[in-house]
Structure 1
Amino acid sequence: MHLTEEELQMIVKLEVGEDLERVKDYFLFGCYTGRRYSEIDNLSYSNITTNERGIRVMTFFEEKKIDKGNVSLVLNDKAIADKYQFNPIKANGKSLLPKLTNQTLNKRVKILRQLAGVNQPTEKIQYIHGVPQRVVVSKFELITTHTARHTYATLSNERGMPVTVLQKELNHSRIGQTVSIWQVGQ
């Protein structure tokens, strides 16, 4: 499951109260960086440095690996990080973004997407007594925090990012892992 560019822009333009704004920022940060919930949750200001070319870089430790990865911060994700840097109370201390549990984010992300109008009918497979059945649901019901990672991968692919670069950005050990999350033509 991923968002299209149009659906992503619907969320970007959505005006919400402070509580949902934190959820929106967290989700959009994931869409812009391709990071997992746990990686974003563990980020602090010390993870952001400026490299020798003057580019702000976010360093993180991959949840499933010992390897360290780097992602360049660009306009949108940099703006979100800066928003909370100057208001550490909103970010709960040293965290880069507000601390919210994955369960809370998943619940509120659905509300956010519904408000944004990401609710077109979407088909999914549901097993009833062990038999696969096609069921139509509103897209917002299927969206979770991990949708942000899939959105990043899919939109990066559509914009022409080479698969080897995307593989490195997502810190995948095999290209097959990267290709499997593309949702091209869905």
Structure 2
Amino acid sequence: MKIEQKERGFLTKEELKSIEDLSSSIERLVVVKDLFLFSCYTGISHSDIIELTSDNIVTGIDVHPWIMADRIKTGTPFKIPLLSKAAILIDKYKEHIRTYDTDSLLPKLSNQKLNNFLKEISDLCGIKKNLPFIWPDIRLPLPLP
């Protein structure tokens, strides 16, 4: 048996903007959109995002907030500057029903549900690419916080 990896390309700035601009009255799509955008802004995988707590937000030596944690699958530590767009999403879910009584920064959904709902989001945004939850190759110049 041979595993063949398929190259997925990258999400363009315009495609990311169309997802950012998507407005929906369907709560599950809003949550999935926000989780996907958080992943785009940070590069953090789904399994690591759902484990993030307030303890993972640390003030760095540059006096800016950073996300510091260990990868769930490998135990490898990561340190990522918390960009303002990602911080806004964390603030949005501080009092949310899905995070209020937990220590989670963001709502938890299964990876399977996320990927199914991302198909809906890509259709609504007119994106013809398959959007897996962790987009491996976003090539945008993202400013530091």
**Which structure's relative contact order is higher, taking Cα pairs within 8 Å and 6+ residues apart?**
2
* Cα distance, 1:90 vs structure 2: 3.0
- Aligned equivalent of 1:36, options 28, 31, 45: 45
TM-score relative to the length of structure 1 = 0.65
Q: How does 1:25-104 map to 2 (within 5 A)?
A: 25-85=34-94, 87-91=95-99, 93-104=102-113
Q: Which has the higher helix share?
A: 1
Q: Which has the higher strand share?
A: 1
Q: How does 1:1-186 map to 2 (within 5 A)?
A: 1=8, 2-17=10-25, 18-85=27-94, 87-91=95-99, 93-119=102-128, 139=129, 142-147=130-135, 150=136, 153-156=137-140, 159=141
Equivalences, count: 133
Letter in 2 for 1:98: P
Higher mean Cα deviation, 27-36 or 58-67? Answer: 58-67
Higher mean Cα deviation, 66-75 or 100-109? Answer: 66-75
Map of 1:179 onto structure 2: none
Which is higher, the Rg of structure 1 or of structure 2? 1
In structure 2, list runs of 5 or more residues that go unmatched: 1-7
How far, CA to CA, are the matches of 1:52 and 1:146 in structure 2? Answer: 28
SS in 2 for 1:146: coil
Letter in 2 for 1:154: I
Are the aligned partners of 1:57 and 1:71 in contact in 2 as well (CA < 8 Å)? yes
CA gap 1:53/1:146 in 2 versus in 1, 3 angstroms:
closer
Are the aligned partners of 1:88 and 1:94 in contact in 2 as well (CA < 8 Å)? no
How far, CA to CA, are the matches of 1:67 and 1:111 in structure 2? Answer: 33
SS in 1 for 2:55: helix
TM-score relative to the length of structure 2 = 0.82
- The root-mean-square deviation of aligned C-alpha atoms, in Å, is 2.0
Letter in 1 for 2:14: E
**Percent of aligned pairs sharing the same letter:** 34
